[in-house]
Chain A
Amino acid sequence: MTTPDVPTLLDDMAEQARHYLKTHGIAAPIVVGIHSGGVWIAEHLRERLGVERPLGRLDISFYRDDFSRIGMHPQVRPSELPEDLDGEHVLLVDDVLYSGRTIRAALNELFDYGRPASVTLAVLVERDGRELPIAAAIVGAHMELGKTEQIKLRGPEPLRLERVTIDPEDLKA
């Protein structure tokens, strides 16, 4: 099955983001990506939008709500937020929006760094299966997938989306 072309989605996201920032009167947002796919998308988006402020990177492993079930993620990278978030407009970027739990964790982590004026969510792919009241303002593609299907972003070069079927046994983990 074919998946959408990532550069095309990025162009479309940049267009939506420009419109969003303009209508909301945001001149200079801080772009923050969630490890690892979100950081790749955030880098491209930041470039397309001509944002000069340095990119922020979040690793939300320490904020996950499933630590008590699955334990420590083996490869945690440090989060890097080069600028103070107090009073700033944050454009939070991830690759796939699914249950919404990653975004919940990311919001918690962001707020441990400061009190942003606003946080806007941009995702490459939004799929069905939300478990929390979280929605993206900027969406590259919307997809309906079965419970045993996942969409993964492979990268960093070239970026491409891959549809994978998961073993129903793994869903129990």
Chain B
Amino acid sequence: MTETQIAHPGARLPEPGPLPNRLQLTDDGQLRHMLTIEGLNRELLTEILDTAESFANMNEKAVKKVPLLRGKTIVNLFFEASTRTRTTFELAAKRLSADVLNVNIDTSSAVKGESLLDTLRNIEAMNVDMFVVRHEESGAAHFIARHVAPGISVLNAGDGRHAHPTQALLDMFTIRRHKGDFTKLKVAIVGDILHSRVARSQIHALNILQTGEVRVVAPCSLLPSNVDQLGVHVYNDLDAGLKDVDVIIMLRLQRERMEHAHLPSEHEYYQLFGLTSRRLQLAHPTCLVMHPGPANRGVEIESAVADGPHSVILEQVTYGISVRMAVMSMVMGAHQA
């Protein structure tokens, strides 16, 4: 689980672990861990989205809970700060009637020098059933999945610059709810592709679901050098990239990862790559505006657009719960079969 720390123009996206699917699928093709979208097939992604659809109706119930994972213990193992993702994973687990334990490693063992494996073994000894892992290093979730006891599932809630599969799935769910068929859609992903695990997972998911056209729009300094291998159309000009698109996915400008001066200034970035009301008019009239949050208003997106009629940013948060419920119940089910 090493990752090159070089973050300069031309840096490559981290390589996925060897044969991730042997790790994340059972022998009969069921999802056992959710580590990466890469390598999954269209049927499985569709099954996840369909299952999420049945959970999405749950808000109509007086009791917003199902007893599916009653008696299971799910551990949120977060080595990196996160509010939204952790909260929605926690709510998803609770709505499935599981017990949830939040372990924030920053403030406990890491400072005492306990190794990742030690931490894992200790929590495993408490007879838990699932780990939801976020870690700043690419490949951390794979590493944990390789070492957990059989019967425990691992969900990747974001590892370094590698993958964030449930975020990509909730984005696909949001798109499908509004647009239906992917094959006729033009989707533009705009912003910091180089540092974004979200973008990488989205690109895989969109391609697996046979999206008509996937575009990435970014300055050269925020594109990986192997971008041409990702099966996307590359644009360095936002106006051209937005022309007639059905979905715009804005990425967060990762200020915390920008120490190596990829950009002259945030202000200039906004001038060139910020999504403004004026630019939105270049897209299809019924275009969706998405953002994984939290949005930097006035840096990558204008407030009026983030809050405007095309925006489905808050819906993404709501659907995140349903999608995570679907993934959690499917991986727990796969162990039993």
A and B: bona fide binding partners: yes
Size band of the B side of the interface? 20 to 34
Determine if A63 is an interface residue (Cβ-Cβ < 8 Å): yes
Q: Could you tell me the distance in whole angstroms from the C-beta of B175 to the nearest C-beta in chain A?
A: 19
B264 at the interface (CB under 8 A from A): no
Are B61 and A71 neighbours in the complex by a CB distance under 8 Å?
no
Q: Is B337 an interface residue (CB 8 A)?
A: yes
**Cα separation A76 to B329 with both chains bound (whole Å):** 12
9-residue interface stretch from A107-115, A123-131, A159-167: A107-115
Q: Is A77 an interface residue (CB 8 A)?
A: yes
Specify which chain B residues have a CB less than 8 angstroms from the CB of A1 in the assembled complex: none
Q: Which of B49-57, B81-89, B250-258, B278-286 contacts A (4 or more CB under 8 A)?
A: B49-57
Asked, given contacts A67-B333, A71-B337, A113-B62, whether A59 binds B68 with beta carbons under 8 Å apart, the answer is no
- Check A78/B54 contact, CB under 8 A, given A63-B67, A72-B333: yes
Shortest beta-carbon distance from B158 to chain A in Å: 24
Question: Which residues does chain B contribute within 8 Å of A74, judged by CB atoms?
Answer: 47
Asked if A23 is an interface residue, CB under 8 A from chain B, the answer is: no
List of B residues within 8 angstroms of A2 by Cβ: none
In the assembled complex, how far is the CB of residue A73 from the closest CB belonging to chain B, in whole angstroms? 8
Interface contact A62-B333, CB-CB below 8 Å: no
Distance, CA A77 to CA B52, complexed state (A): 10
User: Is B209's beta carbon under 8 Å from chain A?
Assistant: no
Q: Enumerate chain B residues within 8 angstroms of A78, measured Cβ to Cβ.
A: 53-54, 56-57
Task: Check B329–A72 contact: CB distance below 8 A.
Answer: yes
Residue of A nearest to B63 (CB): A112
- From B57, B65, B336, contact of A71 by CB (8 A): B336
Q: How far is the CB of A110 from chain B (nearest CB, A)?
A: 10
Kindly state whether residue B60 has any CB partner on chain A within 8 Å: yes
Inter-subunit contact A71/B333 (CB<8 Å): yes
Q: List A residues 88-141 near B (Cβ within 8 Å).
A: 108-109, 111-114
**A67 touching B54, Cβ below 8 Å:** no
Question: Which residues between 39 and 78 of chain B lie within 8 Å of chain A, taking CB atoms?
Answer: 47, 50-51, 53-54, 56-57, 60-63, 65-68, 71
B-chain residues with CB within 8 Å of residue A63 when the two chains form the complex: 66-68
How far, in whole Å, are A114 and B62 apart by their CA atoms in the complex?
Answer: 6
Point out the residues of chain B lying under 8 angstroms from A67, CB to CB. Answer: 68, 333, 336
A59 CB contact (under 8 Å) in B54, B332, B334: B54
Which residues of chain B have C-beta atoms less than 8 A from A80's C-beta? 57
Once the chains bind, are A71 and B54 in contact (CB under 8 Å)? no
CA distance A71 to B329 in the complex (A): 8
B330 interface residue per 8 A CB criterion: yes
Does A79 lie within 8 Å of B57, measured CB to CB?
yes
Q: Which of B50, B67, B71 contacts A75 (CB 8 A)?
A: B50
Contact (Cβ within 8 A) B54 A68: no
CA distance A167 to B89 in the complex (A): 41
Which residues in A have their C-beta under 8 angstroms from that of B30? 71
Report the Cα distance A167→B64, complex, angstroms: 39
The distance in angstroms between the C-alpha atoms of A108 and B330, with both chains bound, is: 21
Q: Are B336 and A76 in contact (CB under 8 A)?
A: no
Within 8 A of A (CB), among B295-330: 329-330
Q: Which residues of chain A are near B71, meaning CB under 8 Å?
A: 68
Nearest CB of chain B from residue A42's CB, rounded to whole Å: 18
Contact status B336-A108, CB under 8 Å: no
For chain B residues 18-55, which have a beta carbon within 8 Å of chain A? 30, 47, 50-51, 53-54
**Which A residues lie within 8 Å of B65 (CB)?**
112
Q: How far is the CA of A68 from the CA of B335 in the complex (A)?
A: 9
Pick from B54, B68, B335: contact of A79, CB under 8 Å: B54
Give the complex CA separation of A69 and B54 in angstroms.
21
Residues on A with C-beta less than 8 A from B335 are 71
Residues of B within 8 A of A27 (CB): none
Q: Which residues of A contact B333 (CB under 8 A)?
A: 67, 70-72
Residues B67 and A108 in contact, CB atoms below 8 Å apart = yes
Interface residues of A (CB under 8 A from B): 59, 61-63, 67-72, 74-81, 108-109, 111-114
A-B interface, 10 closest residue pairs, ranked by CB to CB distance from nearest: A71-B333, A72-B333, A62-B66, A112-B63, A78-B57, A71-B337, A71-B336, A78-B54, A76-B54, A62-B68
15 CB < 8 A contacts A-B: A62-B54, A63-B68, A67-B68, A70-B333, A71-B334, A72-B329, A76-B50, A77-B54, A79-B54, A80-B57, A81-B60, A111-B63, A112-B61, A113-B60, A113-B63
Given contacts A72-B51, A112-B65, 17 further A-B contacts (CB under 8 A): A59-B54, A62-B68, A63-B67, A63-B68, A67-B68, A67-B333, A67-B336, A68-B336, A70-B336, A71-B337, A72-B330, A72-B332, A75-B50, A76-B51, A78-B56, A113-B63, A114-B62
